Amino acid sequence: MGKYKGREILNKSGAPTNPHRASSGGAGTGHHRSAATIRRLQMYTKGGLIRNKDGKVIGGAFQSKELPVARIAPDRRWFGNARTVSQTQLSEFRDALAKSSRDPYSVLTKVSKVPFGLLTEKSDGKAAKASLLAATPYESIIGKKGPKRKRLQLSVSSIESLATKATADSSTFEAAAEAAGPAARRSVASSASSTQALKAAANQATSAGYGFDRDKKSDDLFAKGQSKRIWTELYKVIDSSDVLIQVLDARDPMGTRSYRIEKQLRENHRTKHMILLLNKADLVPTWATKRWIKILSREYPTIAFHSSLTKPFGRESLTKVLQQFAALHKHRPQISVGFIGYPNVGKSSVINTLRRKNVCNVAPVPGETRVWQYITLFKRVYLIDCPGVVTPTGDFDDDVAVLRGVVRVEKLRDPLMHLPALMDRVDHAVLAEMYGLPPRATKDADTFAEAYARRMGRLIKGGEANVGAAARMILTDFQRGKIPYFVRPPFEDDEEAAASAKREQEAKRAAEEQAEFQRQFPGAKLVNADDALPSVVDARNRIDTDRVEQRRRSRRIRALNSQAATTRAAGAKASNGAKEELLTTLLVDDASGDEDEAQLRATF
């Protein structure tokens, strides 16, 4: 009896349907059909139905001679719900999901099994009901003789009141903008997410005199990274990635951060993970990097990084994080990691550092990466390089585009025009020491560019200094990190001051809304939903507390009555002094008030 792969072969038939048949030419000769091939060929030849002379089906490769049971077993489960869940369980699930979503270090696994349709509330019913009184007082809708009207009360009652309200809002915005300065633009832009909201924010900032002009056609040079082609590449990367790494410039993390993309992920791609990577950490002090990591880690996991093939920093930390994501998603054959961010922040350099070789084209100028590309990091981890995308905020202008590396310096028509913005960000003493100029040469941009041009020998016809070439050289040094510059991170005092200013603005806005409401509806009071709900809850808590206290006192009185009845027989022969002593002892033990004392004295 021969052997095949360590097993005894019982069938020695040489038929072609036997996958274990012996070879006719001896060992090592011939290649027989496998069992899978034999079954596939049998399917081709025997797949048809076998009929008798009357046309009745009597057999076939896929015909079973055993007839199934033609009745369903009786069971009450067929008439009930297969899976049920209560509203309490749904509330617990919603709270747990919201808590895990707010935690930047928690990962939701097996997302396909999570019923987001049940756990996601489209609108908060309690808040909607409580906010009904915020628009119209109750008396103006329901009168003494019944409902006055059924139409919804709008915020304005006529076109004239709408125009008056719009004028008042415009004047209020202008006054607040003049008082707040550039911070108002950042707050307005940070609250705007869609394209229409950004346009509205720009129009409002134009009325405050911030340089926004919706009718002005900006130069296409400063719109780099905002084209439809670039956004299409970005959406490809977002759709194809399981983990997104937003690369930030450590010199200006908030300036190179894309809030619009983060909001897009929170609303439409909740199953994707986000990591913030502070690249170019070697260009800022260590204390600033630590502070930025502490601030940004409240929202997303943040890692400091320095791209270099020879002496990198943060490569091991980032590699371990990616391996953890791959281990958390074992049910997936592989995970894809997309790198997104502003142009010239070092996305391709980070990928080269992870691979320890040049797999992506890199250049010290923006726009080197034009299309997305896949790179293999591990067997189950793939990296996706993406072109730089610019998401303009309120303080984004031509100077900011140049200093953040969005625009190539050699393409600027007037580089000297952007030099004052650079000098506003860098200490003049540092510039004078770096370029070997006297301190008086850095008093303004024109003097600085002229002095540096003469020092470098950049002269034009007539012996005049080529200030344009000098300004272009200085801007290039700034973009490549040769000029020391970084944005100071906020500390606890700054955050507390910002929170206090925000509370003051909210209180002032609430007072203005109350005054406007009193003007439109004299004698009515504007009720805030956030203030109304806690008052209702407090009232319910007080009612519950009173009920509990009343029940406790009733139980205590019954206990005292039974105790008094027990001691009545024993105290019948006692003197009045003994009764008074017993009564005093019971009252001290109870200490329940005058009513209990009166009832107890009546018992005695």
Percent of the chain with pLDDT over 90: 6
* DSSP H or E segment with residue 279: strand 273-279
Taking the CA atoms of residue 84, residue 88, residue 91 and residue 95 in that order, the dihedral angle to the nearest 10 degrees is -110
Confidence of residue 519 (pLDDT cuts 50, 70, 90): confident
- Name beta bridge partners: 373: 385
Q: For the chain, what is the radius of gyration of the CA atoms?
A: 39
Range from 347-351, 404-408, 553-557 carrying the lowest mean pLDDT? 553-557
What confidence tier does 278 reach under pLDDT thresholds 50, 70, 90? very high
Q: What is the pTM of this model?
A: 0.56
Q: Report the alpha-carbon distance of residue 378 to residue 248 in Å, rounded.
A: 24
The predicted structure's pLDDT at residue 532: 44
| Residue 491, helix vs strand vs coil | coil
Looking at domain 240-258+267-385, its CATH class is alpha beta
* Beta strands 243-249 and 273-279, pairing class: parallel
The pLDDT score that the predictor gives to residue 214 is 41
Q: What is the pLDDT of residues 297-315, one digit of tens each?
A: 988 899 999 988 888 898 8
Q: Between 217 and 14, whose confidence is greater?
A: 14
Please give the average per-residue pLDDT across 64-84, as a whole number.
73
Q: Is the separation of the CB atoms in 253 and 486 below 8 Å?
A: no
Residue 183 has pLDDT above 50, yes or no: no
Domain ranges of the chain: 3-50, 159-217, 240-258+267-385, 408-479, 529-603
Mean local confidence (pLDDT), 390-415: 79
Angle between helix 259-268 and 228-240 (nearest 10): 40
